[in-house]
Structure 1
Amino acid sequence: MSEPSRAPMKIAFVLDDSIDRPDGVQQYVLTLGAHFTRQGHEVHYVCSDATRTDVTVHSLARNTAVAFNGNTLRIPLPTSRAALRDFLDRERYDVIHVQMPHSPLFAGRIVDEARRVQARTVRIVGTFLILPNGRVSEIGTRVLGRVQRRNLAKFDAFCGLSPAAGEFAGEALGIEAPFIPGAVDLEAYAAATPAPRADDRLRLVVLGRLVERKGAVELVQAIAGLAPEVRARLDVRLAGKGPLRERLEQQVAQAGLAEIVTFDGFVSEEDKPGYLSAADIAVFPATGGESFGIVLIEAMASGAGVVLGGANPGYLAVLGDRPEVSVDAIDIAAFTASLDRLIRDPALRAELHEHQTQRVRQFDVTVVGEQIMELYGA
């Protein structure tokens, strides 16, 4: 089916962080932006300090680092309203797409000044991207919503990256944010060449930041609980960097898993499709704080054998209702049992692979892009 023909638009993706960071928010806007560029639209990224030159970037703020929702984030320092007003008057965007929750000192000011400069000739939309990971981040988001009531009233439409994220946005900010998922470019991921393998052991791949809520500690405990003959069948690859690296290495050594567990460090965006494609089982055991599972759909799209994820609301929006592919990672016995079943049962892996191959189609950027275009009023 051919995509609808539309007049070219000038679109600004606004995020408080830098576009340089290899995180989920950046992947979300870059995937959509690349798709819209291919459709003939002009796409800009308006953010804090950044250095990349392969896309059109406007770095209009300086950042400082803070801890929030189980991550280390960089938030913008106050930005001159006059400078933002001059910038917006010069660029004259048709659509400003803000990643939320957003800072009143940068993205919030862009929204304010865009309304002053262009009144209602620019459409302002927002994607609500988070689920709180704990009481502190939940309270912080609710307080931010109260502070930004007037700013939120200047938006034309919102969406949530998962049903749970949209529901929380309604509770915390008083906005209506229907579910529009994250996206991958299926065509690009399908072309991935699997990373080379040294033997025929089952490859179990984990990719993500090495922080508490991503579940790497629980994964190692679950693997240690497998029978020795089952463990011996595995080639476990842990990819990512973060403060838990040294602790995880010690945990692996103490559990006698050094012969089957390899720490591969950071994997670039260019290498990610091939890395995931080589997995017989790709595991993302996050325990919470996930609004959506971009990396899960990347793994499915790359052709990974089976994608197993933590049973948190954001990941379940990707995985669906097949209990074999979701697990409460904190329940180590259940986690071990899930891994054991997938390792021992190749027929089940094949069935689940086919199911996920079909399911991932709904997250293709051509499908999601149409939903976003409707949000833009196009």
Structure 2
Amino acid sequence: MGLVIDDSLDRPDGVQQHVLTLGAWLTGQGHEVHYLSSTTVRTDLANMHSLARNLRLKFNGNRLGIPLPAPARPITALLGSVDFDVLHINMPYSPLLAGRVITRARPGTRVVGTFHILPWTRLTRWGTRLLGLVQRRQLRRFTRVIAVSAPAAVFAADALGVAPIVIGNPVDVARFAQARDVELAREGAANEAAPVRIVFLGRLVERKGAGELLRAVASMRALTQTPVQVVLGGTGPLREELETFVGGHGLADCVEFIGYVTEEDKAALLAGADVVALPSTGGESFGISVVEALAASRGVVLAGDNPGYRTVMEGLEDQLIDATDTPAFATLLTRYVDDAAARTQASARQVVHAGRFDVNVIGAQVLGVYRG
């Protein structure tokens, strides 16, 4: 199998997590997996093929790298030396890298795609439609297209003229659930007088909702006397603005910015939260971070009520929030800050719920698509 991504695999963003989690599972099942990407310098992946340089920019409210034109020679050499049964293209894709791989693929190679995005801006919506028009003939080369959620499938059908099936993103649920088990084992020794710990983890950009969380916390102070500790993990351009808000609203005593959180530290951070707040306001096609939190947290997960997160939170809709409604957000936060039993009950059902997206479940579904 060749897993093809136009971006670098050096960063742990959503599409990268999809590729790496699926690739590790396929390798563990005995398959030969190759990674075809733009500039990637990590050396821990076998069969890593960096085929083009990339250019950093913003797209759909995220950072990503787009490839500069990939030279034909290394692509031709790779496809000549490896007889791929499947090339799995992450979509939307660039004609400058993945498109060139598809064009040079052997006739007997199955080409499968996974479509990942839901537009947050008009530019994203129309740009994807334009790309679909340009690639319409090449898209006929695809045996099947997967979308990571039903809303993403609707957009892919409209923008690209394809008929996707829905298979969610794979998550190593066992790793995150193990962190939860470790935290629960320690809980008996915890200090009951300790503040309730509210954790946000994500990019400090507008659509991820860190600002909405801080506004809700400021409003919540009029609703409860329970002490809280708010931990914001992540980096981004809004950090200075958020720090100014914290200082101006008397929150400096309870809010901590911890910066970038490594993949190795993520599970423990989520497991130690009484409340995980992921109040994204839009532009989400799925919610890998939400699944990770559902599996890991000893407490409750509150997620933004957007189409992608609603897909992941099906059955847990009472934990969805319109993060732009500050009074309602503050009220929901207060409910769980004040009720430890409700947090425990939520955690027990969440970890079971997360199992729908475990890599063993999703991987088997993807493998079924490969086999046709």
TM-score per shorter chain, which class?
Answer: over 0.9
Of stretches 320-329 and 159-168 in structure 1, the one that deviates more from structure 2 is 320-329
Task: Specify which of 19, 39, 64 is matched with residue 9 of structure 2.
Answer: 19
Kindly state the Cα deviation for residue 315 of structure 1 after the two structures are TM-superposed: 0.5
**Partner AA of 2:156 in structure 1:** A
TM-score, normalised via structure 2 length: 0.94
Aligned counterpart for 1:149 among listed residues 128, 136, 139? 136
- Answer yes or no: is the 8 Å Cα contact 2:274–2:297 preserved in 1: no
Q: Does residue 106 of structure 2 align to residue 112 of structure 1?
A: no
C-alpha separation in 2, matches of 1:227 and 1:240: 24
Indicate if the aligned counterparts of 2:111 and 2:141 stay in contact, CA closer than 8 A: yes
Residues 84 and 201 (structure 1 numbering): CA distance in 2 closer, same or farther, change over 3 Å? Answer: same
Asked whether the equivalents of residues 17 and 63 of structure 1 are also in contact (C-alpha less than 8 Å), the reply is yes
CA contact (8 A) 1:48 1:62 kept: yes
Task: Identify the residue that residue 253 of structure 2 maps to in structure 1.
Answer: 259
| Structure 2 residue ranges without an equivalent (≥5) | none
CA displacement, residues 16-40 of structure 1 (integer Å, 9 cap, x when unaligned): 0000111011111111111111111
1:140 aligns with 2:130: no
Q: Is the 8 A contact 1:297 1:318 kept in 2?
A: yes
Pair 1:176-2:160 in alignment:
no
- Quick check: 1:17–1:47 contact (8 Å CA) kept in 2? yes
Given that residues 294 and 301 in structure 2 are in contact (C-alpha distance below 8 angstroms), is that contact kept between their aligned partners in structure 1? yes
Change over 3 Å in CA distance of 1:222–1:303 after alignment to 2: closer
Q: Shift of the alpha carbon at 1:140?
A: 0.5
Tell which deviates more after alignment, 61-70 or 224-233.
224-233
Where does residue 377 of structure 1 map in the other structure? 371
The 1-side partners of 2:119 and 2:81 are apart by 37
CA distance in 2, matches of 1:12, 1:322: 36
* 2:25 aligned residue: 35
List per-residue Cα deviations over 1:210-263 (Å, max 9, x = no partner): 011101111100110013573652111000001011111111111101111110
Give how far 1:194 is off.
4.4
- The percentage of aligned residue pairs carrying the same residue is 47
Q: Deviations over 1:299-347 (max 9, x none)?
A: 1122341111100010011111433210111111111111111212233
Q: How does 1:1-378 map to 2 (within 5 A)?
A: 11-56=1-46, 57-114=48-105, 118-119=106-107, 121-192=108-179, 193-194=182-183, 200-228=194-222, 230=224, 232-377=226-371
CA distance in 2, matches of 1:133, 1:259: 34
Q: Is the 8 A contact 2:199 2:277 kept in 1?
A: yes
The CA distance in 1 between the partners of 2:21 and 2:316, in whole Å, is 27
Whichever residue aligns with residue 14 of structure 1, its letter is V
Q: Partner amino acid for 2:145?
A: F
CA distance in 2, matches of 1:292, 1:231: 35
Instruction: Name the CA distance, whole Å, in 2 between partners of 1:351 and 1:23.
Output: 30
**CA 1:303–1:223 in 2, change beyond 3 Å: closer, same or farther?**
closer
TM-superposed CA distance for 1:187, in Å, is 2.1
- When residues 218 and 113 of structure 1 are mapped into structure 2, their CA distance, relative to the original with a 3 A threshold, is same
Instruction: Answer yes or no: is the 8 Å Cα contact 1:230–1:340 preserved in 2.
Output: yes
Q: What is the identity, as a one-letter code, of the residue corresponding to 2:29?
A: Q
Letter in 1 for 2:325: D
Q: How far apart are the structure 2 equivalents of 1:166 and 1:66?
A: 25
1:48 to partner: Cα distance: 0.4
State the SS of the aligned residue for 2:52. Answer: coil
Contact 1:19 1:26 in 2 (8 A): yes
Q: How many residues of Structure 1 are paired with residues of Structure 2 in the alignment?
A: 364
State the shift of 1:270 in Å: 0.7
Give the conservation status (yes or no) of the 8 Å contact 2:298–2:344: no
Question: Does the CA contact (< 8 Å) of 2:296 and 2:351 recur in 1?
Answer: no
Which SS does the other structure have where 2:142 is aligned? coil
Contact residue 232 and residue 260 of structure 1 kept, 8 A: no
Task: Report the Cα offset of residue 356 of structure 1.
Answer: 1.1
1:6 matched residue in structure 2? none
Instruction: State the Cα RMSD in Å.
Output: 1.7
Q: Does structure 2 conserve the Cα–Cα contact (< 8 Å) formed by 1:282 and 1:304?
A: no
- Cα–Cα, structure 1 residues 271 and 231, in superposed 2: closer, same or farther, change >3 Å? farther
Letter in 1 for 2:102: V
- In structure 2, give the amino acid aligned to 1:149: R
Q: Hey, what's the Cα distance between the residues in 2 that align with 1:303 and 1:219?
A: 18
* Structure 1 segments of 4+ aligned residues over 3 angstroms from their partners: 193-199
